[in-house]
Amino acid sequence: MHPLFALPIAYILGSIPSAVWVAKIYKGIDIREHGSRNAGLTNVFRVLGWKPAIPVILVDLSKGFLAVYIAILLNHYDWLPITAGLLAIFGHSFTCMAGFRGGKGVLTALGVFLALQPVLALTCFAFWGLLFAATKYVSVASIGACALLGVLATFGYFSEILPVYKLDIYVLVLSWLVSVFVIVKHKANMVRLWNGTENGFGKKRKT
């Protein structure tokens, strides 16, 4: 297989609309018409519960990981795994299998970086967990973890202080592209946070 075939494969993998399909199979509904109307894990969990959320987690993580892993196996261009990862995230958010209305890409991005830089990915995930535990807002945790991704990637590229994060320019660029993309996708959440109407776990939503 020609190495460039990894790119359409990455987009198709990313485009698998797990939240949409799981909600349709489990309850016969379009998850984008319920709750926050986002085709992502958090909305599935809120609307349908934890059981249907499990396959969403597994699929969204796996599609990001596999998109990069396939490109790495082909091992031809240095930029190929990075581009494949980006296309998987774009595919998740703009899925051709569900009217180009997908999720925000957080879990798929985690899968991408687990394949590229697992220590960096797990560090950001741990920070996500700390922020969520402290605030009870998934959006705050996701925004904070994405911001940390860009910061740590910059540190890892320019500094020898953290050699465990040593990475190349391609991963650095991808880190900032993903950080900015995911944060922008959370703009509605940021407006609700500012207005005090964001829905947090264990918090009653204001009207």
- The token pair that represents 184 in the structure block: 């922008």
pLDDT of 179 over the 50 cut: yes
Range of the domain at 138: 118-207
User: How far is it, in rounded angstroms, from Cα 94 to Cα 117?
Assistant: 24
- Are residues 86 and 139 located together in one domain of the fold? no
- Residue-wise pLDDT for 33-73, tens only, equals 998 899 999 999 999 999 999 999 999 999 999 999 999 99
**pLDDT classification of 167: cutoffs 50, 70, 90:** confident
- Are residues 92 and 147 located together in one domain of the fold? no
What is the DSSP-derived secondary structure letter of residue 63? H
| 3-state DSSP percent of the chain in helix, strand and coil, to 5 | 75, 0, 25
Tokens 């799981």 locate to 22
In the prediction, which pLDDT does 206 show? 45
- Are residues 148 and 97 located together in one domain of the fold? no
Mean pLDDT across 4-9: 95
**pLDDT classification of 161: cutoffs 50, 70, 90:** low
User: In total, how many domains does the chain have?
Assistant: 2
> Which residue among 116, 142, 166 closes a domain?
116
Within a 10 A sphere around the Cβ of 55, how many other Cβ atoms?
16
In the prediction, which pLDDT does 42 show? 93
Give the lowest-confidence range in 34-43, 126-135, 161-170, 179-188: 161-170
Q: Give the whole-number percent of the chain exceeding pLDDT 90.
A: 81
Start-to-end Cα distance in the chain: 55
What is the DSSP-derived secondary structure letter of residue 34? S
- Are residues 103 and 9 located together in one domain of the fold? yes
- Are residues 21 and 62 located together in one domain of the fold? yes
> Which residue among 116, 135, 160 closes a domain?
116
> Which residue among 116, 145, 161 closes a domain?
116
The answer to whether the beta carbons of residues 146 and 103 sit under 8 Å apart is: no
In the prediction, which pLDDT does 130 show? 98
- Are residues 202 and 179 located together in one domain of the fold? yes
- Residue-wise pLDDT for 182-207, tens only, equals 999 999 999 999 999 898 886 544 44
Tell me the CB-side half-sphere exposure of residue 74, using CA atoms within 13 A: 23
